[in-house]
Structure 1
């Protein structure tokens, strides 16, 4: 894993190099992850498209977020495919930047997993938008070159899709959890950018401490363990929702070297 030092994003990295349980690794320039891309500079776009070979962007934000923020700099770049695949039910003004969906549906969310509200939120993505979770994995599989998955902060919705992708192709669980938790290293910069945006400032005003938003390894461990307990693992969950063994093998071919 290496950080992508972008001027207009704080939490961008290449997950290449993560180890699989058969002794191989995730290839570089295959799967990228990031926070909001609205502030990308021309130099950032050049790095992503010309140097890293970006060809597909998977945007996990809600329709409300996308419309409020408007088209970002990558939208005008020819040859880059954009897919909008919200992880949230399309109702209200939810952005999920500060787990807004969790607050507005708190009772239902906590019933899923009372011990960790963020884990409960992540399980909700699987319940509410399984078709978009699977579509995101298909987009990664089918991209002719690098795919970048992003949301607002690049840690929750992005964290779930990336964790499922990595787990499906056999990345060691400890490495999946570590990648998720790595976003904590950049949380101050992420939140500073979001607080400067009218779209997210209101949600983030709920809390003054950055620690509330800091991803914890325990959350991803709980999330993956709950998938094991409830569904028999990531692969059975994916199969149930139409992403079967052949799809997983194609994803593995795309990501693993």
Structure 2
């Protein structure tokens, strides 16, 4: 999967879902479905690459209004932007992505498997994720690619990616492997915070908790899958009944993306 990494100067954790195989033997077309961390620090070169090489035509920002105000994305001419926050402002405080100061992280650290369960059981979160998924699915891909992101490109971005890949009938093992790729780019940052907490005289278990919020863990994804399996007979039911995605949108998406 390493060849799906997108090489940018200042945009982190960016990759293309193209090349992944479905259970029916189809392949996701490259250059159309992009995921990343936030675009606040996107360089001019990055923006030109998105426009020239990927014909980017839509961005879906999954962050709250407060997060967007604190770190606004770079503006890319000719690209439509949809703001679809997964969390309400009231729920945003449980996400580690709210801040990056190590001392604050210790106060905000949730049990992240609980956060993932929340995103698929909370009505507001599900409606937002469904809206974001439909926004991707109903896109006119002849006009170019779609990119979605949160802050780190891990949790909210990761779960939307799970939904989209599931709709395309990609098996859970490949979905899991894509999710865990985040660790290849986030591990140095995670280790930095781990060392900062230890240097502040805090116990090792606290340092490990801070480190882990920047990493993708299988247990987090398992928590989401378990919650889906507990409440819905299959993934299609979750997409249609849990996320309120129109059935026609899923079929259109498959026709547009797979070959």
1:30, 1:254 within 8 Å by CA — same for their partners in 2? no
CA distance, structure 2, for counterparts of residue 237 and residue 11 of structure 1: 27
Q: Choose the corresponding residue for 2:10, options 8, 11, 16.
A: 8
Q: Which runs of 4+ in 1 moved over 6 A?
A: none
Q: How has the CA–CA distance of structure 1 residues 87 and 207 changed in structure 2, closer, same or farther, with 3 Å as cutoff?
A: farther
TM-score by length of 2: 0.80
Shift of 1:95: 7.6
1:132 aligns with 2:132: no
Which is greater in Rg?
Answer: 2
Cα distance in 1, alignment partners of residues 192 and 49 from structure 2: 20
Measure how far apart 1:10 and its partner are.
2.0
8 Å contact 1:60–1:86 — kept in the other structure?
yes
For each residue in 1:104-162, what CA deviation from the matched residue of structure 2 results, as whole angstroms up to 9, or x when unmatched? Answer: 696xxxxxxxxxx3232122123132221111112212323211010100010000000
Q: CA 1:155/1:237 → structure 2, altered by over 3 Å: closer, same or farther?
A: same
Aligned to 1:112: none
Please list the CA deviations of residues 201-229 of structure 1 after superposition, one character each: whole Å capped at 9, or x if unmatched.
Answer: xxxxx857534421122322332232122
Secondary structure, aligned partner of 1:129: helix
Equivalences, count: 233
Deviates more, 1:123-132 or 1:37-46: 123-132
SS in 2 for 1:176: helix
How far apart in 2 are the matches of 1:158 and 1:93?
A: 14
**Corresponding residue for 2:115?**
121
Deviation at 1:233, TM superposition (A): 2.8
The answer (yes or no) to whether the contact 1:34–1:148 under 8 Å persists in 2 is: yes
| Secondary structure in 2 matching 1:149 | strand
Residue 244, structure 1, aligned to residue 246, structure 2:
yes
Please, what is the CA RMSD of the aligned residues? 2.8
**In structure 1, distance between residues paired with 2:97 and 2:77:** 33
1:99 positional shift: 7.4
State the distance in 2 between where 1:148 and 1:221 align: 25
Contact map agreement 1:55 1:143 (CA 8 A) in 2: no
Would the aligned equivalents of 1:6 and 1:44 in 2 still touch at CA under 8 Å? yes
Q: 2:65 aligns with which of 63, 71, 94?
A: 63
SS in 2 for 1:213: coil
**TM-score (structure 1 length as normaliser):** 0.81
User: Structure 1: which 5+ residue stretches go unaligned?
Assistant: 107-116, 195-205
The residue aligned with 1:143 is: 139
Instruction: Evaluate the alpha carbon distance shift between residue 175 and residue 92 of structure 1 in structure 2; reply closer, same or farther with a 3 A threshold.
Output: closer
2:230 is matched with which residue?
229
Q: Does 1:19 align with 2:21?
A: yes
Q: Does 1:253 align with 2:255?
A: yes
Instruction: List per-residue Cα deviations over 1:64-83 (Å, max 9, x = no partner).
Output: 1011123x22x2x3321101
Distance, in Å, in 1 between the alignment partners of 2:59 and 2:217 is 26
